Structure 1
Amino acid sequence: MRTVGHFIGGKEVEGKSGRFADVFEPMTGEVKAKVALATKAELRAAVENAKAAQPEWGATNPQRRARVLMKFLELVQRDYDKLAELLAREHGKTIPDAKGDIQRGLEVAEFACGIPHLMKGEYTEGAGPGIDIYSMRQPLGVVAGITPFNFPAMIPMWKFAPAIACGNAFILKPSERDPGVPMALAALMLEAGLPPGILNVVNGDKEAVDAILDDPDIKAVGFVGSSPIAQYIYERAAQTGKRAQCFGGAKNHAIIMPDADIDQTVDALIGAGYGSAGERCMAISVAVPVGKATADALMDKLIPRVEALKIGPSTDPTADYGPLVTKEALERVKNYVDIGVKEGATLAVDGRGFKMQGYENGFYMGGCLFDNVTKDMRIYKEEIFGPVLSVVRAHDYAEALSLPSDHDYGNGVAIFTRDGDAARDFAAKVNVGMVGINVPIPVPIAYYTFGGWKKSGFGDLNQHGPDSVRFYTKTKTVTSRWPSGVKEGAEFSIPLMK
């Protein structure tokens, strides 16, 4: 059986803790690997490697840092199919979905290749008599990222690509559920010319997370996962003086106006609600049709589409989605469906009994569809993270707008309409961080920034785009005056730029 260790100082090393976690193949339910769980000492060894390597890397000119990322892009393309299959086998998502995971990560690495321009400071000549002022961006030093199981390629690249481009060294603590691809990406960065120690991968559980948060040499931490853990990491990072950007759960709504194209809307809901078995922080999990006629028409179209979903093994190119990541995740989602039934929601499609022929031990679940869900129900309030779509019927536009705006989560939202005025009003007023107009999963492209509001995001700066450069650098401002502009005598008042 394969054993996964850590990637420290430019090489894979064995774990020393004696503790391991199982890495499953979700489509069969079999344990395919053991991953080492790091101790505080092993995390510290990675930090020391990073700290020793960072000064020279930070002093490397940004063009050369960008060239390493350019070579990395080339190498990932070379190994694309191999990485996608590894990702699919460890996570459970289909291979086409796994390729999308990789591609969205690569787009941020492509953005980071523009670091020579992105790190430019500002300059003002003649700010005062003989005085020039300029600013520069400098790396923080050693930074870290704690990333989730559901995007084991994309989110690590969202974190380490801009951080490393800015001149930092990076400690990556990926999910222990699917560590294979993060380890492979680190090896490819080394092959691309990244100096040893600049990207270290430390596999582990809470012990490794707490070691990151407590380590005095780690200056910033980024996290993606559940909201309770996001808040915990944000608060503990603040207590130790670290910068933090922490992104949590979601309950993404799709508002369906009476004038929406129902067929196109149903296509969008099926893909966004059930793709990747619903294990996406940007999945649509709540559909809000406005008016009874809209709701009835939507349900008439949705029910047969959900019943016809093709669930299959990750290697089946024709499958709509594959298994959930673990047996625990499967049982958790089924439990939420049980709760919804007890709460009085109408279970229009029940996928709890689905079994995959030939893969009876895999972690599969059929699509579930609830109607007549109300905002006081747990299945509405809480993130399910599975192939479950809830329909909440709204009487009018005002009620529909209030649902995502008043919800505890504020990650993403979408509106489906032909009315430009309604769409513009909705985008301006809805209290959610990312908005789609006839776009079901409004994940911004790499040169914009990604981040939710309320309990979906903790911290002032978001992921990728210009915010990532701001997050991974500190600004130094220099005010200079040369002797020809210096007056004789001491000045006791605050200098004025007259």
Structure 2
Amino acid sequence: METTQAVKVLTHFIGGEMVEGKSNRFGDVYNPSTGEVIAKVPLATAEETSQAIETAQKAFPKWRDLSVGKRADVVMKFRNLLTENQEQLTQIICEESGKTIDDAKGEITRALESVDLAIGAPHLVKGEYSVNVGGQINSYSAKYPLGVVAAISPFNFPIMVPLAQTSMAVAVGNAVILKASEKVPMTALFISELWKKAGLPDGIWTVINGDKDAVNELLENPKVQAISFVGSTPVAQYIYETGSKYGKRVNAFGGGKNNMVVMPDADLTQVADAFIGAAYGAASQRCMAISTIIPVGEETADKLVAILKEKINALKVGSYTETDTDFGPVISQQSKDAVLNAIARGVDEGVEVVCDGREFDIVKQSKGFFVGPTLLDKVKPGMDIYEQEVFGPARNVVRVRSLEEAIDLINQHELANGVTIYTNDGAAARKFTTEIDVGMVGVNVPIPIPVGYHNFAGFKGSRFGEGHMFGPDQARFYTKTKTVSERWPTATTVSTSTFAFPSNNE
């Protein structure tokens, strides 16, 4: 596939304007389908990041003091603009991430769920009121925005994750700084223009592009009150520990090693179809992608692997510009190399290669970052391909003898984002959902990612901090609760000094 598009020089978005970078450092933005550089993204210095934070801090009070209804109105206008510009958004997402058109449109739809929830922020920030808790004192609680908050988002969802992290933060009155992935910055800059058109005051939405210098400034700057992060587990742990050290509220979401347990009573053709979409969609670059299928019993495994082999070998890997493409490339040459190396290590450790994605013509011949769908059987715990998250289309089959063995195996892993079971046995499903120690659980659902109005979070090494992404917990994470006790004296009120601890006995 050829392209004649000139390389763009991108900007930051600060104070309501596109602002050129000053660091003279740039990162390359690729079209993963062609392997070509399509843009240069500025990498902000700590000083540039600090100035952006200062701009946001100055803008915050006016937005905080605006009524919740007027803030919700701006979010509603933003939502309408997202819908009106969906086709252009789709093209940008596909170009810089390599997603198929259908996958990009699906991501936009899920992003809108977070915006829809944020429109309801007036309901979610309601406080409580008690009359005459004692001595004619009334007590009430109220939720207030934190101030300047920051989101650090990943490459694999250029719009869904950033809006899941930030929509509620904006709606409840904060000034938001987005540090988008430097691999997919164009989507973030485009939605910045939509926020401005929607009437969001300058400085309330900021996009600062950068690498570790920008991230560390966000983590250490005292004006930033909260950090939301989505990415790999090692970085999530670093973000959580560093942000907490500097007194910030932090939720940091890491990787997943998600499993699909298949009971002998399941319809194996349906299971195979569900697994293929959940495992290989978006070139497996999803933290909720199914990485391991666990059939219970050898007979179940043999039958399932045979069905999977036929279906996987029929998948089409290609560019988003081609018709009937099932999934596209991984994000970079580095990612492609990592996936190919993971497959090679698996082979060295003794796995059985059922489908070898390395042999696809497009993998060998294209300059794009393509890896074909790979299925490895006879994978066992302790193997690198089993223990480590592989962010690309190399998937595993782990055979077990019983449901109990499957549950024990899954619960021993350090990552616990999502898991699902396929069965027609209600008792088995109940046992599974009760005993499994994973944050998001599916029953006959291929990817158990919740809708935007339910909370999203894994357990163990998949999540650091107590906040959630998606759902009403976002309103709690981005607000602080102030409790007020008040009494209004009358002409007959008797004033006396008391030295006992205040109580409600009056």
Q: TM-score range by the shorter chain?
A: over 0.9
* 2:460 maps to 1:454: yes
Instruction: Tell me the distance in 1 between the aligned counterparts of 2:449 and 2:326.
Output: 20
Which of 56, 62, 65 does residue 56 from structure 1 map onto?
Answer: 62
Instruction: Tell me the distance in 2 between the aligned counterparts of 1:130 and 1:282.
Output: 53
Change (3 A) 1:273 1:112: same
Instruction: Tell me the distance in 2 between the aligned counterparts of 1:234 and 1:476.
Output: 25
Instruction: Tell me the distance in 2 between the aligned counterparts of 1:96 and 1:2.
Output: 26
Instruction: Tell me the distance in 2 between the aligned counterparts of 1:254 and 1:88.
Output: 28
Q: Which residue of 1 aligns with 2:370?
A: 364
* Superposition map of 1:301-312 within 5 A: 301-312=307-318
Contact 1:27 1:359 in 2 (8 A): no
Which one-letter code corresponds to 1:302 in the other structure? Answer: L
Q: Which residue of 1 aligns with 2:107?
A: 101
State the Cα deviation string for residues 75-103 of structure 1 (Å, max 9, x = none).
Answer: 11111011111111100110110111111
Contact 1:159 1:463 in 2 (8 A): yes
Alpha-carbon deviation of 1:455?
A: 0.4
Which of 308, 315, 322 does residue 316 from structure 1 map onto?
Answer: 322
Instruction: Tell me the distance in 1 between the aligned counterparts of 2:364 and 2:449.
Output: 36
* Superposition map of 1:453-492 within 5 A: 453-484=459-490, 487-492=494-499
Instruction: Tell me the distance in 1 between the aligned counterparts of 2:319 and 2:454.
Output: 34
The percent of aligned pairs where both chains have the same amino acid is 48
* 2:274 maps to 1:268: yes
Alpha-carbon deviation of 1:404?
A: 1.6
Contact 1:355 1:365 in 2 (8 A): no
Which one-letter code corresponds to 2:298 in the other structure? Answer: K
Which of 216, 219, 227 does residue 213 from structure 1 map onto?
Answer: 219
Q: Which residue of 2 aligns with 1:11?
A: 17
Q: Which residue of 2 aligns with 1:408?
A: 414
Change (3 A) 1:283 1:146: same
Which one-letter code corresponds to 1:42 in the other structure? Answer: E
Alpha-carbon deviation of 1:357?
A: 9.1
TM (norm. structure 1) is 0.98
TM (norm. structure 2) is 0.97
* 2:493 maps to 1:493: no
**126-135 vs 288-297, greater mean Cα deviation:** 126-135
Which one-letter code corresponds to 1:489 in the other structure? Answer: T
Q: Which residue of 1 aligns with 2:3?
A: none
Q: Which residue of 1 aligns with 2:196?
A: 190
Instruction: Tell me the distance in 1 between the aligned counterparts of 2:500 and 2:410.
Output: 53
Which of 66, 70, 76 does residue 76 from structure 2 map onto?
Answer: 70
Which of 138, 142, 146 does residue 136 from structure 1 map onto?
Answer: 142
Contact 2:467 2:477 in 1 (8 A): yes
Contact 2:243 2:249 in 1 (8 A): yes
* 2:16 maps to 1:35: no
Which one-letter code corresponds to 2:121 in the other structure? Answer: I
Which one-letter code corresponds to 2:500 in the other structure? Answer: S
State the Cα deviation string for residues 241-296 of structure 1 (Å, max 9, x = none).
Answer: 00000000110000101111111111110000000000000000000001111111
Instruction: Tell me the distance in 2 between the aligned counterparts of 1:115 and 1:428.
Output: 32
**330-339 vs 40-49, greater mean Cα deviation:** 40-49
SS of residue in 1 equivalent to 2:112: helix
Which of 137, 143, 167 does residue 161 from structure 1 map onto?
Answer: 167
Contact 1:96 1:317 in 2 (8 A): no
Which of 394, 397, 400 does residue 394 from structure 1 map onto?
Answer: 400
Alpha-carbon deviation of 1:239?
A: 0.8
Which one-letter code corresponds to 2:327 in the other structure? Answer: Y
Gaps of 5+ in 2: 1-6
Structure 1: 4+ residue segments shifted above 6 A: none
Instruction: Tell me the distance in 1 between the aligned counterparts of 2:408 and 2:90.
Output: 40
Contact 1:94 1:317 in 2 (8 A): no
Alpha-carbon deviation of 1:339?
A: 0.6
SS of residue in 2 equivalent to 1:207: helix
Which one-letter code corresponds to 1:239 in the other structure? Answer: K
Contact 1:284 1:441 in 2 (8 A): yes
Alpha-carbon deviation of 1:402?
A: 1.2
Which one-letter code corresponds to 2:504 in the other structure? Answer: M
Instruction: Tell me the distance in 2 between the aligned counterparts of 1:159 and 1:209.
Output: 16
* 2:314 maps to 1:298: no
Contact 1:252 1:413 in 2 (8 A): yes
Alpha-carbon deviation of 1:488?
A: 3.1
Change (3 A) 1:356 1:123: same
Contact 1:28 1:361 in 2 (8 A): yes
Alpha-carbon deviation of 1:482?
A: 2.2
Alpha-carbon deviation of 1:487?
A: 4.7
Instruction: Tell me the distance in 2 between the aligned counterparts of 1:137 and 1:464.
Output: 19
Gaps of 5+ in 1: none
* 2:161 maps to 1:150: no
State the Cα deviation string for residues 52-84 of structure 1 (Å, max 9, x = none).
Answer: 111000011111111111111111111101111
Instruction: Tell me the distance in 2 between the aligned counterparts of 1:357 and 1:130.
Output: 76
Instruction: Tell me the distance in 2 between the aligned counterparts of 1:380 and 1:357.
Output: 23
SS of residue in 2 equivalent to 1:418: coil
SS of residue in 2 equivalent to 1:356: helix
